[in-house]
A and B are shown apart, each in its own frame.
Chain A
């Protein structure tokens, strides 16, 4: 058991080490996030009607963090796709480590490094909305970790199937944009419902981004009611999806992945 944990940690370290090397990426993304929250988020929120049932600036900020966490988790795809191109995945497969451990390590490594990268921005958002207390912070971090684990599992699953930087870029670029649009990241669910496009509303309702963003809002915005599910239901939805995707990712790694391709 101790050996297993040690091996998982070693694989996790790989991703953390890669994050440490991405100084330019971190600096650019952080600087932009701060500008987006303080300037453009504020500008957009001034456009909002005063009677939509929530302070739109707070609503937007938590949506912005959810979108950032999601995009940063999706960005793991580029890292792994690059490893495929460079033959590093073949090297990983030759290590004296069980494939299931490798899969768990890569997923956890990806989600931990994503979380490490986004926690300062989460603190910044909590500061802006005035909810910087320890319980809120801990619950937010735990839910963000669960959500990120699900997204990274999905990323691992897809990249292992595609095995191409080009296709990965196109696929995730499209998925990234579509899922953000089909969610309550930037507009409340009742307003999506009010436009009367059933398919759009139900897509948003099933979208894990909606559940994660609305969970954070229910947790951090006092009296937030613009949601269709209770915070507990949303949290279980995110957890269930993450665990399910993690299991499928491990399965793919263990049984179907070979250096030459997925058989």
Chain B
């Protein structure tokens, strides 16, 4: 058992170490996320009807925390895709590590990437919004871990579906749109109701809506939100997605 845990940590550490190899990419991503908060927020303050959202920067900041997790955790999916095309997976399968440990290690590595990348943005959110209470942090940290795990699970499993580079990039983009646009990150539910009508509540069941709700509550943007309900929902989502990703990855790893 202890040996397996060590193996998992070793695999996760390898993925974490590789994360820093892409310094320019990381710098570009950080710049983009900051641009999302500052420029996108500032501009939309000039576009958005203030009766709907009084301060768009404050509204969008909790969502950007999710976005930062998506970008960093998804980087591992891109690497898994490259490994698959270059058949590095054969080498990975010959390692003296149980396949279950290999996969859990990779999912964990992706999640840790997300957490490390998001740390700076959490600090940024405390400046733009407010410093959370200890109870707020008690929700923020596990929420970040669950979202990071969910994102790395989705990205790894989707990257193994096809070896076509173009299709991989397309799936990645579509996943981004599906996750972020079918949520309350960029607009409140009242606005979605204008178009989707009775179907609008579907947005409430999105994992990213739940995570954003927790962040909005913890950073005291909207204290009327029930964090426990959202956290339970997010936990269920993460468990389901991680299990499905695990099964898909192991199936595709062993496929010729």
Interface residues of A, Cβ cutoff 8 Å to B: 22, 24-25, 28-29, 32, 36, 38-40, 42-44, 46-50, 52, 56, 71, 75, 78-79, 81-82, 85, 165-166, 169-170, 173-174, 177-178, 181, 187-188, 191-192, 194-195, 197, 200
Contacts and interface: CB of A to CB of B under 8 A. Distances in A.
Given A85-B85, A178-B32, 5 more contacts: A44-B186, A50-B49, A52-B47, A181-B40, A187-B43
A165 B166 contact: no
B198 interface: no
Contacts of A52: 46-47
Interface stretch (B96-104, B169-177, B223-231): B169-177
Contacts of A39: 181, 195-196
Interface string B154-165: 000000000011
Contacts of B49: 47-50
A71 B166 CA distance: 12
10 contacts: A42-B195, A48-B48, A48-B49, A165-B85, A174-B28, A174-B29, A178-B28, A181-B35, A181-B36, A181-B39
B32 A22 contact: no
A47 B40 contact: no
B52 interface: yes
Q: Which 5 residue pairs across A and B have the least CB separation, nearest first? A: A174-B28, A78-B166, A191-B46, A170-B25, A40-B181
B180 to A, nearest CB: 9
Interface string B9-48: 0000000000000101100110110011001101110111
A81 B53 contact: no
Interface string B52-82: 1100000000000000000000000010001
Contacts of B50: 49
Contact of B43 (A82, A173, A192): A192
A49 B32 contact: no
A252 to B, nearest CB: 22
A159 to B, nearest CB: 12
Contact of B174 (A28, A166, A192, A195): A28
A22 B78 CA distance: 20
Contacts of A191: 43, 46-47
B141 interface: no
- Chain A contact residues, majority secondary structure: helix
Contacts of B171: 28
B179 to A, nearest CB: 12
Contacts of A71: 173
Nearest to A86: B85
A75 B169 CA distance: 8
B254 interface: no
A220 B31 CA distance: 34
B192 interface: yes
Contact of B187 (A43, A49, A78, A165): A43
A43 B192 contact: yes
Contacts of B53: 47
Contact of B32 (A50, A181, A194): A181
Contacts of B167: 22, 24-25
Contacts of B195: 38-39, 42-43, 46
Contacts of A181: 32, 35-36, 39-40
A194 to B, nearest CB: 6
A78 B85 CA distance: 13
A47 B166 contact: no
Most chain B C-beta atoms within 10 Å of own C-beta, residue among A39, A47, A191: A47
Given A28-B174, A174-B29, A177-B32, A195 B78 contact: no
A43 B187 CA distance: 8
Contact of A195 (B31, B32, B39): B39
A191 B36 CA distance: 16
B47 A78 contact: no
A78 B82 CA distance: 12
B194 interface: yes
Contacts of A47: 44, 47-49, 52-53, 187, 191
B107 to A, nearest CB: 21
Contacts of B169: 75, 78, 169, 173
Contacts of A38: 195
A71 B177 CA distance: 14
B44 A187 contact: yes
A25 B172 CA distance: 12
